[in-house]
Amino acid sequence: MDVTIEPSTVEGSAPAPPSKSYTHRAILAGGYSNSVTVANPLMSADTRATIRAVEAFGGDVTHDADAGTLEIEGFDGEPTVPDDVIDCANSGTTMRLATATAGLVDGVTVLTGDDSLRSRPQGPLLRALEQLAGRAESTRENGQAPLVVGGPLMGGSAPLPGDVSSQFVTALLFAGAATDAGVDITLQTELKSAPYVDITLDLLDDFGVSARRTGRGFSVGGRQRYRRREPYTVPGDFSSTSYLLAAGAIAGAEPVTVTGVYPSQQGDEAIVDLLGEMGAGIEWDREAGELSVTADTLSGIEASVADTPDLLPTLAVLGATAEGTTRLTDCEHVRYKETDRVAAMADALSTMGAAVEEREDELRVDGDESTLQGATLDGRGDHRIVMALSVAGLAAEGETTVTGAEHVNVSFPDFFEALEGIGTELSRTE
């Protein structure tokens, strides 16, 4: 599907979609449990992949659309050998979480995904599982899927690089609680995207599992049971909220309000302070969960995305509409997502007429030298690129067409409906 965005002004309100990060973890924790209800889950292509993985390991997940819940009967810390290959589709989170879970199985599990996922790095996690007495192989011997994983893991100590993916840490913490000895993770390099591990620690605690930071990494004790009596409610997603806030900040005729956003461990909550730093009017009623943005003249900023990689596309678009230069640093790990998001945003914004300078670990956008023009842009099969470029289209002269727009189903299936709801003029072409 292609979507064409007309230059538009926006106003009004839209609900934040549920957090993808919390939903993935809640589904998996439900799988590790005996039984749990997850309320307000994000039902997207990625989270459905995690549901399929939980069911492949012996769990059962029922979606009650009317109630807005998932009823999960889990495998209670003892996953069984899947009947078939686990297809993680485009979900890197599913791949990493399911790979470590497969290490608990007394048998062999095969995991794969689409072309994009089969190009993403898994080697550090495979080596860590081997350190913990598991079997972990890449069929092409390149550290990428398809993967063959066997167990059961005994637990113990495992070194991990921190600058490739925080999901490796999350995966080992989840599985480590179900091993006999537990898992001690030693980080070999500085941890990037650290708030995502904070989300993991927060959720594990909600399911009765004790895990902690140590001086050199993280540790989780073994022989723990995942348990939760009350339904678990997924909070709103700040990564997805960032696109709606950016739309309001650059094209708002009146304030744009996003509802259902409450404080949490999400690193992308930083978008609130960053928009304020750029000069947008921001008001957040934390108790009511209402976050409003008012458009104003924006100014370029310098921001590290070491802990907030998913904000890079949003911030790059904001920089293209701001006065002065926006400098996004510490972004090398952003190249290892569904696509190389640094290169993708540099290429697309340049095509639109922005003045962009791409470096290995940095992206600069000079708003003073940028006048956005409508263009046909490749969404790169990446939900975040599609959404960010759609927002850029609001401020461009002429129509902007983004190809492969259906990929928003990965994290924000109702994104274009939300944009239309606040006044965006757009059309879809199948």
Catalytic residue numbers read: 310
CA angle 123, 268, 233 (to 5 degrees): 90
User: Per the annotation, does 120 bind a ligand?
Assistant: yes
Sheet of strand 135-138, all strands in order from the earlier edge strand to the far edge: 86-87, 108-112, 147-150, 135-138
Cis peptide leading into 152, omega within 30 of 0?
Answer: yes
Flag whether 421 is marked binding: no
Is 192 annotated among the ligand-binding residues?
A: no
Rounded to a whole number of angstroms, the distance between the first and last alpha carbons of the chain is: 4
Q: For residue 286, say whether it is annotated as part of any ligand binding site.
A: no
Q: Rounded to whole angstroms, how far apart are CA atoms 39 and 23?
A: 9
Cα dihedral across residues 344, 347, 348, 350: positive or negative: positive
Q: Which of 415, 411, 412, 410 has its CA nearest to residue 393?
A: 415
Residue 341 annotated as binding?
Answer: yes
The answer on whether 166 is annotated among ligand-binding residues is yes
- Report the residue count for the chain: 430
Check the annotation: does 8 bind a ligand: no
**Is 21 annotated as belonging to a binding site?**
yes
Instruction: Output the six-digit token pair for 283.
Output: 């008001």
**Phi/psi at 131 (nearest 5 deg)?**
-60, -30
The closest of 333, 283, 345 to 308, measured between CA atoms, is 333
**Pairing mode, strands 135-138 and 10-15:** unpaired
Binding-site positions for phosphoenolpyruvate read 20, 92, 120, 167, 341, 384
Binding-site positions for 3-phosphoshikimate read 20-21, 25, 165-167, 193, 310, 337
Binding-site positions read 20-21, 25, 92, 120, 165-167, 193, 310, 337, 341, 384
